[in-house]
Structure 1
Amino acid sequence: MTQELPEIALEDKGSKGRYFLRAPDGAEAEMTFTKVGEHQIIIDHTEVPDAFRGQGAGLRLVTRAVEDARSAGKKIIPLCPFAAAQFRRHPEWADVLKG
């Protein structure tokens, strides 16, 4: 039985930030990023604890970053292996991928 995932929250701390999901038991799935100037972000880490495994939490976090980057006119550098793999699987994200 898969329960509905909580809403994605954004924590922005100047040059760094994260998107995260928090389970009722306090477990957090997160994707961290670093801002590079005004027009680029680096996705540097994605972590999904067992409480979120198999529910698409990691993909949801990366998708939210893509949507936010697109609406803000920013590019993404996916250094995190998970995020890089998602960019390879989603060619429709090419407009926000820093080439």
Structure 2
Amino acid sequence: MSFEYTEEDGRFVAKDSDGLEVGEVTYTRDGDELLVINHTGVDPANRGQGVAEELIRQVVEKVKNEGMKVEPVCSFAQKEFERKSEYKEVLKQ
């Protein structure tokens, strides 16, 4: 199944082909240079399809493009940042 990913105010959302929301990652801004990822969630029926991973990747691309850093607070985001060395460049030290 393919999903569409869009950015909304303070979050990225994944929607299925029917336009139903199946996942989200939410964040807050801490000043002009830091995004804090505070929640990642995917509908149980859509888990295991890479939705959450793609949502985190979308946030990483956003901060790269905007010259920002990320502080992953939610446990899933923390695990993604530990697993993916390519995300280290945007990780808050």
Q: 1:79 aligns with which of 66, 73, 76?
A: 73
RMSD (Å) for aligned C-alpha atoms: 1.2
2:4 maps to 7
Q: CA deviation at 1:52?
A: 1.7
What's the TM-score, normalizing by structure 1? 0.87
State the alpha-carbon separation in 2 of the partners of residues 66 and 59 from structure 1.
Answer: 11
**Separation in structure 2 between the aligned mates of residue 18 and residue 25 of structure 1, nearest angstrom:** 16
Instruction: Report the number of matched residues.
Output: 92
The TM-score with structure 2 as length reference comes to 0.92
Alpha-carbon separation, structure 2, partners of 1:66 and 1:95? 10
Q: 1:25 & 1:64 partners in 2: Cα distance?
A: 19
What SS class does the counterpart of residue 77 from structure 1 fall into? strand
> In the alignment, which of 48, 54, 73 is matched to residue 60 of structure 1?
54
* Structure 2 residue 56 is the aligned partner of structure 1 residue 47: no
Q: Do residues 18 (structure 1) and 44 (structure 2) align? A: no
Q: In the alignment, is the contact (CA less than 8 A) between 2:42 and 2:51 conserved in 1?
A: yes
> Contact conserved, 2:28 with 2:37, CA < 8 A, in 1?
yes
* 1:47–1:58 Cα contact (<8 Å) kept: yes
- Partner residue, 1:37: 31
Runs of 4+ in 1 over 6 A off after TM superposition: none
The residue that corresponds to 1:98 in the other structure is: 92
- Matched residues in 2 for 1:54 and 1:11: separation? 24
Give structure 2 stretches of 5+ with no counterpart: none
Aligned to 2:83: 89
